[in-house]
């Protein structure tokens, strides 16, 4: 039996996939508390085209994203270690290792995860890559518009003016 460090595609060692920390394309005024997460893009590393999988480590005091929902993309998270607070329109609930949450496309219930604990939390983020997906940020004056695969996302005020 071989160990993870000798994995050959289609197998992979998640920890061998480079982590990306501090990356967000949100307008600067919304980046506070959003740049601490480290994401390992496992789906990309495996060559997946139809959905993405990120192994995300969220340090204390950080959020996974601004609270949002998608018009066409389903999302799913599975907590591997630590704990996060899931915030939705229904309120807040703590998710611990082994718990999961799913967010169906087109359901206008903004969601995000916040790490309010004293230790890192690690979870899988899984989402499809639906063309034409748009997003809404119910707590702020912002919407997201999909331009096209491989192109920069567009963030707009609700009246359509760009950030």
The domain total for the chain is: 1
Does residue 162 form part of some domain? no
Examine the pLDDT at 1 and tell me if it is beyond 50. no
Mean pLDDT score, 91-106: 98
CA 49 → CA 39, 43, 126, 134, distances in Å?
Answer: 18, 8, 13, 19
Q: Which two tokens stand for residue 37?
A: 């997460």
Whole-number pLDDT of residue 151: 66
Does residue 97 form part of some domain? yes
Does residue 79 form part of some domain? yes
Whole-number pLDDT of residue 56: 98
Examine the pLDDT at 101 and tell me if it is beyond 70. yes
Does residue 161 form part of some domain? no
Mean model confidence pLDDT for the chain: 93
Does residue 163 form part of some domain? no
CATH number of the domain encompassing residue 143: 2.60.120.10
Does residue 62 form part of some domain? yes
% of the chain at pLDDT higher than 90? 82
Whole-number pLDDT of residue 150: 64
Does residue 24 form part of some domain? yes
Please give the full DSSP string across 16-83, using - where no structure is assigned: GSPEEES---S-GGG-TTSS--EEEEHHHHTT-SSEEEEEEEE-TT-BSSSSBEESS--EEEEEEESE
pTM across the whole model: 0.91
Whole-number pLDDT of residue 153: 76
Examine the pLDDT at 2 and tell me if it is beyond 90. no
Examine the pLDDT at 88 and tell me if it is beyond 80. yes
CB 147 within 8 A of CB 133: no
Q: Which two tokens stand for residue 45?
A: 């590393």
Q: Which residue has the tokens 């609270």?
A: 67
Does residue 25 form part of some domain? yes
Mean pLDDT score, 125-138: 93
The pLDDT tens digits of the residues spanning 63-73 come to 999 999 999 99
User: What domain range includes position 136?
Assistant: 4-156
């Amino acid at each position: 039996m071989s160990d993870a460090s000798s994995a050959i595609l289609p197998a992979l060692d998640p920890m061998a996939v480079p982590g990306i920390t501090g990356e967000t394309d949100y307008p600067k005024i919304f980046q506070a508390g959003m740049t601490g997460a480290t994401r390992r893009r496992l789906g990309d590393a495996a060559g997946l085209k139809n959905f993405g999988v990120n192994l995300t480590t969220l340090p204390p005091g950080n959020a996974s994203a601004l609270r949002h929902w998608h018009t066409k993309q389903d999302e799913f998270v599975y907590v591997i270690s630590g704990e996060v607070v899931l915030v939705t329109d229904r309120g807040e609930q703590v998710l611990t290792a082994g718990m999961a949450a799913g967010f169906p496309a087109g359901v206008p219930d903004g969601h995000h995860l916040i790490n309010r604990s004293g230790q890192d939390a690690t979870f899988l983020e899984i989402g499809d890559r639906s063309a034409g997906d748009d997003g809404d940020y119910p707590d702020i004056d912002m919407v997201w518009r999909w331009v096209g695969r491989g192109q920069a996302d567009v963030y707009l005020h609700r009246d359509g003016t760009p950030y």
